[in-house]
Amino acid sequence: MRTSRKPSTSPATAFEPEFVAGLREMFERSIPFNQVLGIQLLALDGERAQCRIDMRPELVGHFIHRRLHGGVISATLDATAGLAVMAAIGARHMDESPEQRLARFMKLGTIDLRVDYLRPGLGPHFVASAEVLRLGSRVASTRMELHDAQGERVASGAAAYIVS
């Protein structure tokens, strides 16, 4: 009994190094609040993105238990899902120049977001993964997860984005 019964047809999209570098620069450096979170891009393909955040004192939500703040989790899942949508859009528009594809990034808008908090966020770092379930001409739907350094699932989520 499997939840997903069809193999994901992950397009083996080979993005140019300059596209990935440009996206990383935009994502990690040009978005001020992403710098506050300290989100780093780990991996990217035509329908998925993976990011990492390191625990830091200012990201704590519970001063006794030293847990990651729920708002850090929701923000990181939203950011990672946006990146996955951007990768999917980039993969669809490989005929455009990297600059043209990067310009699409700033037009992305989150329609809505759901986060399920499953376990306390504890430990030295966290990995967020996002997958695009559907990329339409106007709306993209994604699913996300956050795991701790031991590989335990801390949170899961879903979001919808306006694309253009």
Candidate segments 16-24, 42-50, 85-93, 94-102, binder of a copy of itself by CB under 8 A: 42-50
Q: What's the length of the chain?
A: 164
Of residues 98 and 154, the one with the C-beta less far from a copy of itself:
154
Closest CA to 68 of 149, 133, 130, 164: 149
Task: Give the β-pairing of 60-62 and 67-68.
Answer: antiparallel
**Rule CB under 8 A: is residue 12 a binding residue for a copy of itself?**
no
3-state secondary structure of 11: coil
- Pair 26, 108: CB distance under 8 Å: no
CB burial of residue 156 (10 Å; 0-12, 13-18, 19+): middle
Name the β-bridge partners of 147.
127, 153
Site for a copy of itself in 14-33 (CB under 8 A): 30-33
**Rule CB under 8 A: is residue 62 a binding residue for a copy of itself?**
yes
Least distance in Å: CB of 40 to a copy of itself?
15
Classify residue 119 by its DSSP letter: S
**Rule CB under 8 A: is residue 117 a binding residue for a copy of itself?**
yes
**Rule CB under 8 A: is residue 139 a binding residue for a copy of itself?**
yes
**Rule CB under 8 A: is residue 95 a binding residue for a copy of itself?**
no
Site residues (vs a copy of itself, CB under 8 A): 1-6, 30-37, 43, 45, 48, 50, 57-64, 69-72, 74-76, 78-79, 106, 109-119, 127, 129, 131, 133-134, 138-139, 141, 143, 145, 147, 151-153, 156-158, 160, 162
